[in-house]
Structure 1
């Protein structure tokens, strides 16, 4: 499985996708699910959430939620419009999916797997679960964005599940994604 590229691109390319009808949805669940369990976080456990965020996103340079204060992050996670679903395999967190509902739309805000669980069909399974959950909320649109810092199969997975691209943006690479020269840390 591909790792994050060592050389950071000079340009951040962000692709926005949407699904406007449940008929567009092409689910791809794993057939063998006896060891899988989806669990919704019931309260805003900041340490657990940050563990998930880092475990899934560190390799892809996810930074946004790590830059939030405890108060800001707790407000997001405690909001009735936010749900965080954790994929457990034999009781171990393999990945998670975060949905954020705004009126008649749901954003797949964060989604991914921990590296040991790549290449097992779990990404399409977790994404399918999240899409199904979003449509059950009675919304009219589900949207997501991905970029050229995300996993190499992210965009393909979204397209295969039925999302369609509606916008692409390019910008110089934001400084928060550039590693500093000090101890491999990132500059906020």
Structure 2
């Protein structure tokens, strides 16, 4: 077991969103997946999260994964680099008394895309799309809050990227936890990487 610190960040106004310092390069685009399949969602989840101990969904049955993807207010937006996925964000909008709250459920880049200045642009676009999710989901009131949580197992620049886009820390907590194996089943054991 290790100590894991979880940091919660939020924005309470779309005017708090700060754009990325770099635009997406030529050959890159961010696209919403209108009818995502559980298989594609799991591919994105493991491709980003395998090095970050993302394992909370790995034991879900296909029907459970599909139910999460079909929940009203859930959207997946994919960053494509020269036609291939390079990262993604999953948004989950939920109606509360104060209006719609949108959680950035999962956000990240594929390992080969880290360090190329893409994370800021993907996050800025994700937050922008979170703020107008009510325009795409029938019956959702105006968005009142966009939030995310990240933990000390995530990438070392996660909090800095969130704060650079205008999210503010509102809660931090620590607990002892045993990290899951986010790479479980991704590649056969002992497979050469070269």
User: Given the two structures, how large is their TM-score scaled by the length of structure 2?
Assistant: 0.83
1:78–1:178 distance in 2 versus 1, CA, 3 Å: closer
Residue ranges of structure 2 left out of the alignment (5+ in a row): 134-141
C-alpha displacement at 1:132, in angstroms?
A: 0.5
Pair 1:64–1:36, CA change in 2 (3 A):
same
Structure-2 change in CA distance of 1:76 and 1:21 (3 Å): same
Residue in 1 that maps onto 2:17: 25
Query: Map of 1:174-185 to 2, 5 A cutoff?
Result: 174=178, 176=180
Match of 2:32 among 40, 53, 59: 40
Shift of 1:25: 1.1
> Structure 1: any 5+ residue segments left out of the alignment?
1-8
* Aligned CA distance change for structure 1 residues 179 and 55 (closer, same or farther; 3 Å): closer
> Partner of 2:171 in structure 1?
167
Given the alignment of the two structures, is residue 142 of structure 1 paired with residue 146 of structure 2, yes or no? yes
The corresponding residue for 2:162 is 158
Q: Distance in 2 between matches of 1:29 and 1:150?
A: 22
Residue 109, structure 1, aligned to residue 101, structure 2: no
User: 2:24 and 2:52 mapped to 1: Cα distance?
Assistant: 28
Distance 2:129 2:183 in 1: 36
- Regions of 4+ moved over 6 Å: none
For residue 2 of structure 2, what is the aligned residue in structure 1? 10
Deviations 1:112-157 (A, max 9, x none): 0001111111100000000111112330100000000000000110
Which of 42, 53, 73 is the equivalent residue of 2:45?
53
Number of residues of Structure 1 aligned to a counterpart in Structure 2: 174
1:98 and 2:90 are equivalent in the alignment: yes
Q: Do 1:29 and 1:128's aligned partners in 2 also have CA atoms closer than 8 Å?
A: no
Is residue 62 from structure 1 mapped to residue 54 from structure 2 by the alignment? yes
Task: Compute the TM-score of the two structures, normalised by the length of structure 1.
Answer: 0.86
Greater mean deviation of Cα atoms: 59-68 or 168-177:
168-177
